[in-house]
Structure 1
Amino acid sequence: MSRIDEIKHSSHRHQLKLMRIETCYQCDGCKEQGLGSFYQCNNRRCGFHLHEECALASGSGSITHPFFKNCHFIFYNEESQSDTILVCVACGKNVQGFMYKSSGNKAHVLHPRCLKLPHNRANDQGVNVNLRKKLPWMSKCLICQSRKISNEIKGWAYVSSCGKFRYHVACLKDINFENWNNNVRLLQPTDGRNTSIFSLLLQKSSLKHKTPTGLEHAEKAAIVEADKQLRL
């Protein structure tokens, strides 16, 4: 499927151009951070950016997700006016901008990027990890070493069939940005596309010599553990 190089989006007055560069940015649609290709205003003084998923989300009709049978999601491109805090069921983070929301009494809310997550990823050793909503209780996330994101939210995760590899979607989002300057990647696209099969890349680059934080301890532990599993 070809990618659209230039679009006009209802949320912005200028044309938006697809930028194929790998850099961090703030999406003005969903208000989440972004990493990788994005749509940017042709007038750079605007500083307007959108994730590809946010820019190309459909405002007409509804879409479905295999995790929610008999459930239809509608795209909203405005911030919720409700006093209730909306939480993405995939990553457990607050939803503050563009979103997909399901109909029904118990509405489910998803970030556009979370709704479009690929269902399969693979590492360079041929180990497949699949996106799961219902997670096996025995295994823990290799990044946070926990089974749930919080007491209230389990969140989605990528899990291998053997159960040795498990990564919370929330943890992957956090650690990718935390490690950007250190060039450490856990799950990255192999061909530059956000919706492609992902590769599990554990690049052990030189980290800055400083007192490690709790997150850095978790990052190093995840790398060591994943390396062990890759050798099995």
Structure 2
Amino acid sequence: MKLDKELFHPSHPQHKLKSEYTEIPFRCDGCKEAGIGLKYKCDACDFDLHKACALAPSMISHHFYKKCEFRFYSKPPGPVMRVCDACRKDVFGFVYHCMRCDFDLHPCCANLPHCLDDGERNFYLSLRVSSICLRCGGKGLGWSYRSDCKNYTLHVSCVKELLAESWQAIHLNLDRNKVRDIQTKIPSLRGPMQSHHRGRLGKVERCGQIAGSAVRIIISAILGDPTAIIAAIVGGFIAK
């Protein structure tokens, strides 16, 4: 698919937006979520949109919700706070909403790939969690990615929380020890895993390696650019 280098967007009618590839995290002015990689930007106004937000069609369908028709809204419809059914996070900006079924999806969540490949294994997007999440140790609501061997599951919401913790520490310029403490939590996930694999240290270490790899590739997809390069860049925010 060929992408326009410049475009007009109704959310920012003052100027054209130019496509730009960035390795620096940004906050999308459309959906208000984090992003990285390809974006559309107005330099004069410091205005950014995810590719998925800038090019969002007015109507979409999703294979998880076969009876739904999702319409694009520039702000959440109705008087009550909306929650994305994929990541379980509040909706503050652009959203896809099904009026009939009352489901909501962030544009980037609506575009999450069905399958992610971290180079060693595949992770498949699942509507319902049938096994415990490596990060929170529970099942809960929201989508998840699950390995093809069915042994490793991560909630999309949990990966977003890990990302927010790390970037918040960096953005707030906390002391280096605090940043290191938060970043160390991201790949290890040892607390929840030890409780589920007690007495099997080798498997816990193996889970840690897989979880770290999964987090990097899943974060890259959540941020709107599921590529190997972005996965490697995101890895820089995660302790080795």
More strand by share: 2
**SS of equivalent residue, structure 1 residue 37:** strand
Per the alignment, do residues 212 and 14 of structure 1 end up closer, same or farther by CA in structure 2, a change over 3 Å counting? closer
Number of aligned residue pairs: 192
In structure 2, what is the Cα distance between the partners aligned to 1:32 and 1:215? 20
Report the Cα distance in structure 1 between the residues aligned to 2:107 and 2:45, rounded to whole angstroms: 23
Q: Secondary structure at the match of 1:73?
A: strand
Of all paired residues, the percent bearing the same amino acid is 36
* 1:97 equivalent in alignment to 2:93: yes
Counterpart pick for 1:162 among 125, 143, 149: 149
TM-score, with length taken from structure 2: 0.70
Could you say which residue in structure 2 is the equivalent of 1:143? 135
Tell me the SS of whatever aligns to 2:160.
Answer: helix
Q: CA deviation at 1:83?
A: 2.8
- 1:166 and 1:215 map into 2 onto residues whose CA distance is 20
**Cα deviation, residue 69, structure 1:** 1.2
* Alignment partner of 1:88 is 2:84: yes
RMSD across aligned positions (CA): 2.8
Deviations 1:178-207 (A, max 9, x none): 44699xxxxxxxxxxxxxxxxxxxxxxxxx
The alignment's TM-score, normalised by the length of structure 1, stands at 0.73
Higher relative contact order (CA 8 A, sep 6+): 2
The C-alpha deviation readout for 1:111-166, integer Å capped at 9, x for no partner, is 000001100001221x1110000221xx2222333322xxxxx1100012322221
Q: What is the CA distance between 1:209 and its match in structure 2?
A: 4.4
Please list every run of at least 4 consecutive aligned residues from structure 1 whose deviation after the TM superposition is greater than 6 angstroms: none
Distance in structure 2 (CA, Å) of the matches to 1:210 and 1:23: 21
1:201-220 superposed Cα distances (whole Å, 9 cap, x missing partner): xxxxxxx5459757844642
Please say if 1:34 is aligned against 2:16: no
Gaps of 5+ in 1: 149-153, 183-207
> Does structure 2 conserve the Cα–Cα contact (< 8 Å) formed by 1:164 and 1:229?
no
Q: Please give the alpha-carbon distance, in whole angstroms, between the structure 2 residues aligned to 1:34 and 1:2.
A: 21
Decide which of 162, 166, 175 is 1:175's aligned counterpart.
162
| C-alpha spacing 1:180/1:97, structure 2 compared with 1 (3 Å) | closer
